[in-house]
Amino acid sequence: MAARRALVVLVAALLVLTGCAGHESRVKVALDALDRGEPEYAVQALNEELEVSTKDEVPPLEGDNALLLLDRATILQSIDDYEASQRDFQLADKGIELLDFSHSAADDVGRYLFSDDVGPYRAPAFEKLLINTFNMMNYLARRDLEGARVEARRLAVMQSFLKEQRETTSLLGLGSYLAGYTFEKSGRTSEALLSYEEALTYDDFPSLRDPLRVLTGGRSKSPRVDALVGGAGPLSTAADEGQAEVLVLVGYGRVPQKKPVRLPIGLALTAVSGIISPYDRAKANELAAKGLVTWVNFPRLAKARGSYSLPELTIDGRRHSLEHILDVEDEVRREWEEREPTIILSAITRTIARIVAGEAVAAGTNAAAGKKRNGGGVVGLLAGLATSAALTAADTPDTRSWTTLPSNFALSRLRLPPGRHTIVVRARGMTKTYQLTLEPGEFQVVVATALR
């Protein structure tokens, strides 16, 4: 009788657990809104997930709030609310750093039994680098060079750390480019040249040719810089020419999201054939043969959200070319492909652990029931299955990631005469218009983002 009651409790727990949802469901409403071109509604949806009423409220840095803040910051930037965006990025930066240093035995046990989703989020290298890069954009758009320099220095600290960890990423190029721009506009020539030199190790950046002619004064600097300048000689500054300078930076598209998938155990074993231990393979095969294990839950990176054509830039009615400078999606895929086998392996190991736990419960229940009366086998079997099923239901694949990252970046850097200018950017079916009034020698950064 007691065992039966226990079984009822377990089944009830199972029913509750079946309702578990991963991170992808927490951001679904916001991402759908972005697809419809309704970023304000997306912010509202994230506010609800963060349990705050408005974008002006900040949530406590707990759970996955740092990750949701990253999404909110990106969307706020896309609607040109740079001040709120920079606050959210700052908070998220702190939160992601805290999560990096958080370890607990409970998290490890949770990961082993339930899901990688248990425990703190560990941001991949490219996300860490992009937090400071994105926030630098906010400060530059607001012409706050001191704030931008702080972000440039934070980026340098992270770059140095990742290099020591032997984690390289092509995303360093964009950050270094913007750091160079920040120092250049701050009048810090040597720091600007160092950052530009760093940027050139990742890409060619033709738009850097003229700024480097100004900064080097036409003198030989380094093989990379010299190759780009190509002996073109010095160039006067925009201020000396009585002109202003505009940097238009366009982020467009969205990186693919992680989605939960269920894979038959046989296919999963094939996917990790090179790295699974003989014991785990034997155990998985044994359990599969019993018909106990059939599916493994884990996350997968979704397909690309279509092909991306280069955005259009028009200034005062005249078309200007944009330079494609970064394929974030490519980096996301590269990083994911490196990690995917390990993630599938963890999922298989978890599945085995759950079944073993279920078997132990079944054996224990049978033993207990057997003391009171004979024929407790059915109760034991059901209890074991219920335990295994409850743990399986709790397995929500870890789909956490910075879901609102633009998949590509393009830029244009040009000199304009002082006065009023109308800048129009068209990307992914969206049109954004900016009215600028420029003074001689002034600079302005336009950050245009189309998150769909």
Judged by the rule CB under 8 A, the positions of this chain that interact with other proteins are 2-3, 5-6, 9-10, 13-14, 16-17, 19-20, 60-63, 90, 94-95, 97-98, 101-104, 107, 110, 113-114, 118-120, 143, 145-147, 149-150, 153-154, 156-158, 160-161, 165, 185-187, 239, 244, 357, 360-361, 364-365, 367-368, 372, 383, 386-387, 390-391, 393-394, 439, 441-443
CB of 345 to other proteins, least distance (A): 22
Measured from the CB atom, the residue of 157 and 227 that comes closer to other proteins is: 157
Q: How many CB atoms lie within 10 A of CB 104?
A: 10
CB of 302 to other proteins, least distance (A): 23
CB of 189 to other proteins, least distance (A): 14
Q: 399 and 24 in contact (C-beta within 8 Å)?
A: yes
d(CA 51, CA 62): 12
Measured from the CB atom, the residue of 115 and 404 that comes closer to other proteins is: 115
d(CA 20, CA 23): 10
CB of 154 to other proteins, least distance (A): 5
Measured from the CB atom, the residue of 90 and 346 that comes closer to other proteins is: 90
Measured from the CB atom, the residue of 37 and 441 that comes closer to other proteins is: 441
List Cβ neighbours of 202 (8 Å cut-off, separation of 6 or more): 170, 172, 173, 176
Reported as type and span, the H/E element at residue 297 is strand 295-301
Measured from the CB atom, the residue of 246 and 326 that comes closer to other proteins is: 246
CB of 98 to other proteins, least distance (A): 5
Question: The sheet that has 430-438: what strands, in order across it?
Answer: 318-320, 312-315, 419-427, 430-438
What's the token pair of residue 116? 């990688």
CB of 190 to other proteins, least distance (A): 14
CB of 320 to other proteins, least distance (A): 22
Measured from the CB atom, the residue of 7 and 302 that comes closer to other proteins is: 7
d(CA 65, CA 71): 10
What's the token pair of residue 282? 């034997």
Residue 192, classed as helix, strand or coil, is: helix
List Cβ neighbours of 376 (8 Å cut-off, separation of 6 or more): 3, 365, 366, 368, 369, 370
Measured from the CB atom, the residue of 119 and 311 that comes closer to other proteins is: 119
Q: 94 and 88 in contact (C-beta within 8 Å)?
A: no
